[in-house]
Amino acid sequence: MRSIRVWKWLIPTIIVGILLGCAAGVKVKDETAPLPGDRRWVEKTIRNMTLDEKVGQLVVARYSGEFFNYDSPYLKNLEALVKKYHLGGLILFGGEALETAYFTNHFQKLAKIPLLIASDLERGAGNQVTGATLFPPLMALGAADSEELAYEMGRVTAIEGRALGIHMTYAPVVDVNINPDNPIINTRSVGEDPEQVARIARAFIRGCQGSGMMATAKHFPGHGDTDQDSHSLLPVIRADEERLNRVELHPFRVAIEAGVESVMTAHLYIPALEPEEGLPATLSPRIMTDLLRKQMGFRGLIVTDALEMRGITGYFGDEEAALRALKAGVDLLLLPLDPVKVIEHLKQAVRNGELPVSRLEESLRRVLLAKTRLGLHRQRFVSLERLPLILGKQEFRDTARKAFASAMTLVKNDNNLLPIKKDKKIVLMSLSSDPGDYFAGRRLASELVNRLPATRVFYADGDTGRERLTEAMSASLSADLVVAALFSSLRSGKGTVDLEPVQVEFIRQLKAAGVRVVALSFGSPYFLRHFPEIDGYLCFYRNTPETQELAALALAGEIRISGRLPVSLPGLYPRGHGLILEKFEEAK
């Protein structure tokens, strides 16, 4: 009886407390509530939207920033998707600066509700648009270990991207690359240390979002520990919960704390987090809602990785995957194979009650609020006249060059072969593992011959027969030093970033014949595992004109080398290893 009397007294008190708290503006924190924005505009817009418009806002299709005549079937199809099917956004895949801005404005004119324009700007706006600034991949920033450069990279990406009409970048990659054989993350990751990945990503996010562009942490809950590519199949991550929390999830937590506005899903199966066998994280309510929303407190947009990837399409139909993703807690459906079929299927799912209207409008509200935070409800167009004043500014290009230069990592320099003296007979062997990329090292060859005239140059690619390698071997036997420039691009669906076996064997034969060899990696830093006996090894993390020029400067001793490995080379060198090589004049 006493307990009943106590509760009779407590209940009114609790109610009064709640009412007083509400009156004072105190609210119970809702971790799943969307981020702020112009709620008045959003709610008014939602009230006036049809079901067609609501569903369309959650679907995103691709477009190219190239020139198109208005009669182009490609352009007409995109126009129909925007006007008739009310797409929420478009994703830019490559193009020229003026064409990108022009057609971005064109599509915005057609849209009843402003479009959210996104792009994969992992290496700056120049990663997609000619004329914009191109930065190195994040692993280079890991080698430089510079939060300042990461911040500047995010800032410049946002300034140039917004000038082009792009509002959202699918960057930074916060996957922790702990598998040396990862064929799709690799140098896109900062490295193998979760704390360093988190620090560099946080700085990028601050620079990017502080300059008006939405950043995206990807690929949740972590794509770094696999030797398979989700563009081709569904990888399985077999780590336990303790390891996932300590490694994969840590950078995402830091990104969320830093206020990242978007998270991209991964098409991965993770048994420790999802008991349903073969269910990708993208389609898992346990991972998208229970883990990301509720446990980790993420309130921004959840976007899928491309739904056209085999990690999804190989196991689920287009319509089923889209519906299951929304029901799991995703907000935006990126690149379904057939956007129209997906939209029609989702509308039918709403009508028959399979997809509750409340769930649909929960994501719709997040999408529209994001658009208001970007100011699109007030101004959706960009100025073509201002592009030459913004894109590719000298200040921006200098920052990018500093990032490339700071990343150069000298892993090995036996007998102080570097820098190379001008009187040495050099053979430069450009070895590309990409078929058709025969002259991959042309810029390096030109720059090196200018500095070291006694240099002979040979080229080979993935299609080259042994005859060319035999000729290069013959010339190498009388050389003082062979410089092996190694190129292997990181491409979706390629399945590997490794070297051609015949090229690996070529380098091993050189060493067996007593030739001194210095290898330059313009891609994965892990190549040294194939031939640890070589005399020197330099990492540049990406093949660009800048890295090839810097390589020539480094070989000739005209630039300081100070980068450190952001990953370990198993059995050879730990993370953080790197030799300092001063400019030649200073080294005397």
Distance (Å, rounded) from C-alpha 205 to C-alpha 268?
24
C-alpha triplet 79, 81, 87: angle, nearest 5°: 120
Distance CA 187, CA 521 (A): 12
Longest dimension (CA), the chain: 102
Q: Cα separation of 77 and 112, whole Å?
A: 17
Active site residue 305: yes
Task: Considering the candidates 145, 193, 229, 305, report the single residue annotated as catalytic.
Answer: 305
Tokens of 42: 């959003």
Q: What is the β-pairing status of strands 536-539 and 409-413? A: antiparallel
List the structure tokens of 464. 């080259």
Tokens of 558: 């005209």
**Catalytic residue from among 231, 250, 267, 345:** 231
Residue 209's identity, in one-letter code, is Q
As a whole number of angstroms, the distance between CA 285 and CA 297 comes to 15
Say whether 231 is catalytic.
yes
Q: What is the DSSP string of 329-378?
A: T--BEE--S-HHHHHHHHHHHHHTTSS-HHHHHHHHHHHHHHHHHTTTTT
What is the side-by-side order of every strand in the sheet holding 426-432? 409-413, 536-539, 517-521, 481-487, 426-432, 455-460
| DSSP assigned state of 220 | E
- Show the tokens assigned to 416: 């102080």
Query: CB count, 10 Å around CB of 522?
Result: 25
Q: Which residues are catalytic?
A: 231, 305
